[in-house]
Amino acid sequence: MTKTHLTLCFASLVLAACTSEPIKVGTPPPPASYLVCDALPVKPDLTPLQAITLADGRVVYLKSAVDERDGSIARYIVEVRGAWFSCSNQLARVRDYYEAAE
């Protein structure tokens, strides 16, 4: 017997052993764009505030310096919240994708 005969014989045995039931495959993964979130923002520079000691011994900070620092912290919190919202939306898209595939 030649190699061709052996190959045909083996192929027919393999095909005969296969059942006619369809192969079940799971849901394909969601598109890659569903798995990407916005990057986290860069932390603000929080240099220590300059304390001023008054003549009566009280330690105070300049209101303008405190307001500037609070403003940068507030912007950072809003940006972090936006990044979280982005990831939350993407996870909802993945959940909806798999629910629709069922």
Mind listing the pLDDT tens digit for each residue in 14-53? Answer: 665 566 777 788 889 999 999 999 999 999 999 999 999 9
For position 102, what pLDDT does the model report?
A: 77
The reply to whether the predicted model has a pTM over 0.75 is no
Report the residue count for the chain.
102
The rounded mean pLDDT for the chain is 87
CB of 34 within 8 A of CB of 98? no
Which residues are CB-contacts of 38 (< 8 A; sequence separation ≥ 6)? 82, 83, 86, 87
For position 17, what pLDDT does the model report?
A: 58
Widest CA span in the chain? 110
Which residues are CB-contacts of 31 (< 8 A; sequence separation ≥ 6)? none
DSSP state string for 23-37? PP--PPPPPGGGG--
Quote the DSSP letter at residue 60: E
pLDDT at 83 over 90: yes
